[in-house]
C-alpha cells in the first residue's frame, strides 16, 4: 500500500490538530508536518515533499492562495484548499493558482479523507456544490462561445476527445468505461493521455479546460 504524505497548513492549532486526528487513523495516510502560514508552508513543502497539502485561505502573512501558487510553480505537492468561507472569489483564485481541490471545512471527516486520497492519487476534487458554481461561472461568461478551438485539441484522438467530454460531464472512470464499452484500465490511459496533451495537471483543470475551450457547454 502506498502511503500518502500530508502537510497541514492552518493558522489555528486546534484546526490542525483536528485534521491530524482525522487523518492519522488511516493506514494509507501519514501526516508529515504542519505550518501556520504561507511562507512556512512553502519551506515545509520543500523539506517534506508531501503528496497533498491541506491549505487554509486566510492566514497572517502570506495567504493560502499565494502559497498555493508558489507551491504549484515549484511542483512541491498537490493542494486542497480548505476554508470556512464559501466564496466564489476564493474558489476561482484557488483554481487559478493551481489547486487540485477545494472543500469547505464543514465537510464530513470521511469526505476529507477521500479528498486526500483522490488528490493524492492524481484526481482533482471539487465538492459537488463547488462544481456547480464552476459550471455556472463558465455558463455565465467563462467558456464556449464562438472562439476557435485551442490547438491542443487537434492532438487528441477521437476516442480521447470522447473521454474528455465525458470527464467534463463529471463522469468517473467506471462510468466512462460503461458508456464507451471499454475497460477501466483503458479509460485511465486515455485520461492520462488527455491531461498530458492539453497540458493540465488533473481532472479538475481538465473540466475547466473543456468548458473554456467550448468543447462542452453547461447545458450539454
| CATH for 85 | 3.40.50.2300
Better-scored residue on pLDDT, 5 or 141: 5
Whether the per-residue pLDDT at 61 is higher than 80: the answer is yes
Same structural domain, 18 and 56: yes
In a domain, 57, yes or no: yes
**Is residue 132 assigned to a domain?**
no
Number of domains in the chain: 2
Contact 130, 88 (CB under 8 A): no
pLDDT at 204 over 80: no
Residue in the structure block whose three cell numbers are 456544490: 129
Tell me whether residue 217 is in a domain: no
Full DSSP string of 63-122: -HHHHHHHHHHTT--EEEEEES---HHHHHHHHHHT-SEEEETTS-HHHHHHHHHHHHTT
Looking at the structure, tell me whether residues 25 and 101 fall in a common domain.
yes
Asked if residue 176 is part of any domain, the answer here is yes
**Under 8 Å between Cβ of 18 and 12:** no
CB count, 10 Å around CB of 15? 16
Same structural domain for residues 150 and 118?
A: no
CB atoms within 10 A of CB 77: 26
Domain of 97?
4-126
User: CATH number of the domain that 207 lies in?
Assistant: 1.10.10.10
Q: Average pLDDT over the chain, rounded to whole?
A: 85
Is it the case that residue 146 has pLDDT exceeding 60?
no
pLDDT exceeds 80 at position 145: no
The three three-digit cell numbers of residue 161, written as one number: 476527445
Task: Read off the pLDDT of residues 3-58 as tens digits, 9 standing for 90 and up.
Answer: 999 999 999 999 999 999 999 999 999 999 999 999 999 999 999 999 999 999 98
Higher-confidence position of 83 and 34:
34
C-alpha 97/C-alpha 8 separation (Å) is: 18
Pair (122, 148) in one structural domain = no
Q: In this predicted model, which residue has the larger pLDDT, 105 or 67?
A: 67
**For the whole model, what pTM was predicted?**
0.71
Amino acid at each position: 500500500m502506498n502511503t500518502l504524505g500530508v502537510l497541514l497548513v492552518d493558522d489555528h492549532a486546534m484546526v490542525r490538530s483536528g485534521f491530524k486526528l482525522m487523518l492519522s487513523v488511516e493506514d494509507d495516510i501519514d501526516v508529515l508536518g504542519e505550518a501556520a502560514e504561507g511562507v512556512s508552508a512553502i519551506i515545509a513543502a520543500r523539506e517534506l515533499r508531501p503528496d497533498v497539502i491541506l491549505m487554509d485561505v486566510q492566514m497572517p502573512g502570506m495567504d493560502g492562495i499565494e502559497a498555493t501558487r508558489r507551491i504549484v510553480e515549484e511542483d512541491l505537492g498537490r493542494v486542497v484548499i480548505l476554508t470556512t468561507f464559501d466564496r466564489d472569489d476564493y474558489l476561482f483564485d484557488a483554481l487559478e493558482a493551481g489547486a487540485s481541490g477545494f472543500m469547505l471545512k464543514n465537510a464530513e471527516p470521511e469526505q476529507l479523507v477521500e479528498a486526500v486520497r483522490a488528490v493524492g492519487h492524481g484526481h482533482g476534487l471539487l465538492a459537488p456544490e463547488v462544481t456547480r458554481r464552476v459550471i455556472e461561472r463558465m455558463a455565465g461568461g467563462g467558456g464556449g462561445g464562438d472562439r476557435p478551438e485551442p490547438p491542443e485539441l487537434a492532438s487528441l484522438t477521437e476516442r480521447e476527445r470522447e473521454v474528455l467530454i465525458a470527464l467534463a460531464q463529471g463522469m468517473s472512470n467506471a462510468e466512462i468505461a460503461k458508456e464507451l464499452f471499454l475497460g477501466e484500465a483503458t479509460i485511465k490511459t486515455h485520461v492520462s493521455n488527455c491531461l498530458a496533451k492539453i497540458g493540465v495537471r488533473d481532472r479538475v483543470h481538465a473540466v475547466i479546460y473543456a468548458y473554456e475551450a467550448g468543447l462542452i457547454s453547461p447545458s450539454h
